[in-house]
Structure 1
Amino acid sequence: MTLDRFRPAVKGVLAPSVSLAKRVGLTPNGVSVIALLLALVGAAAFALAPSRDPLLYVGGAVAVALNGWLDLVDGELARETGTGGPAGDLLDHVIDRYADIVVIAGLAAGIEAYAIGMAAVTGVLMTSYLGTQAQAVGLDRVYGGLVGRADRLALVVAVGVVAGFVTQSFSGLTVVGWLLVFFAVVGHFTALQRFYYAMKAL
């Protein structure tokens, strides 16, 4: 399912954003930090939405969408300016993981579903870990499996918009709760898929 395979296809669409970043003097690392700040804004909106205003879910979804967009822009900016390197790659991965954690934590905190949130965040982290660990043992980075980061961001954005208008529960869980269940189950399954692919290639 993973949308990560379509990253090369959006290169042309990124050009205006990359040009803007260059004009205002942003470095790839600066773009990555802004992306993390947007993830924090999204997480805060998700955490507050159930008790304050469900429409905050929509605001959080916009912030997460911008986070995902900037995650593409920083890499393209690094390539265009020739400033990419191991340090930038490391920072990008660390920021992505923290962004993943805070967004899921915000979703879980908003509906007070901490156990499901813990299962979801560990599934997400293991998926990403297995993708990069394959590279650490000499293989190509693994992006395959059912759900990658691009898929997760797309789902968070879509469900965030829906949650802004649909507040009722289904079998005891809101749409946000079911999204966390999905991440918990499919995240760990995707991690195991990547583990299998890597072991098979070794």
Structure 2
Amino acid sequence: MTLDRLRPLADRALRPFVAGSVRLGLTPDVVSVIAFVLAVGAAIGFYRATPLAYVVGALLVFLNGWLDLLDGALARQLAVDSRAGDLLDHVLDRYADVVIVGGLAAGIEGYALGFLSVTGVLLTSYLGTQAEAVGLTREYGGLLGRADRLALVGVTGLAMAIVPRVAGMSLVAWLLVLFAVVGHLTALQRFWGAWRDLSS
């Protein structure tokens, strides 16, 4: 259940955006920074927690996810992909994850739930890159990857403007519960896969 498997399809859809970015003179690092700024804007919208703010936040999250794909595609097109750029991209992605989840949690004043959720999100990402650090390929699989999370955040933000509560609980709260539980399960799944590969 991971949208990361659709990367080849996304790469084809990105081609006109890559070409447009080249014409505008954008660099992959600039695109990464713009994506992070959009994530901060989304977090502010989620913190404000009005129907309109949730919709704006959702749209900014979708744009953040699209730009997160674009920066890598642009780096490959310009043949400027580097370890420094990869580091910047990953650091900004992690900060984006934290501010988005933090904004969602603050908007419903669910701080404990936000803590459990953001640790699940961070550990999922950490185990994905840690596999590469020990000599394996970078791990994108599992129950819930970053693309899945961003899609769910965007859909939930849009839904909050229409049906904000289900079974007596905010849709955002349900989403944070999902991130807390499935995030940690995904991290453990990635750990087990890497451990098995290293032990074989």
TM-score range (shorter-chain normalised) is: over 0.9
Q: Which moved more, 1:65-74 or 1:9-18?
A: 9-18
AA of the residue aligned to 1:40? V
RMSD (CA atoms)? 0.9
Deviations 1:32-74, CA, capped at 9 Å, x for gaps: 000000000000000002xxx3121011000000000000000
Instruction: Name the stretch that deviates more: 5-14 or 151-160.
Output: 5-14
Partner of 2:29: 29
1:93-172 map, 5 Å? 93-168=90-165, 170-171=167-168
Q: Which among 72, 82, 86 is matched to residue 83 of structure 2? A: 86
In structure 1, stretches of 5+ residues that fail to align are: none
How far the C-alpha of 1:110 sits from its partner, in A, is 0.2
**Range 108-117 or range 7-16, more displaced:** 7-16
Q: Name the residue aligned to 2:19.
A: 19
Please tell me whether residue 200 in structure 1 is matched to residue 196 in structure 2.
yes
Task: Provide, for residues 130-163 of structure 1, a one-character-per-residue CA deviation record: whole Å limited to 9, x for no partner.
Answer: 0000000000111111000000011001111001
| The one of 164, 172, 176 aligned to 2:172 | 176
1:76 corresponds in structure 2 to 73
Percent identity over paired residues: 61
- Give the match for residue 186 of structure 1: 182
TM-superposed CA distance for 1:169, in Å, is 5.1
TM-score by length of 2: 0.97
How far apart, CA to CA, are the structure 2 residues paired with 1:87 and 1:8?
24
- Under a length normalisation based on structure 1, what TM-score does the superposition of the two structures give? 0.96
Letter in 1 for 2:36: L
**Correspondence for 2:61 among 64, 76, 96:** 64
CA distance in 1, matches of 2:90, 2:74: 16
The structure 1 segments of at least 4 consecutive aligned residues displaced by more than 6 Å after TM superposition are: none
Q: Which amino acid aligns with 1:42?
A: A
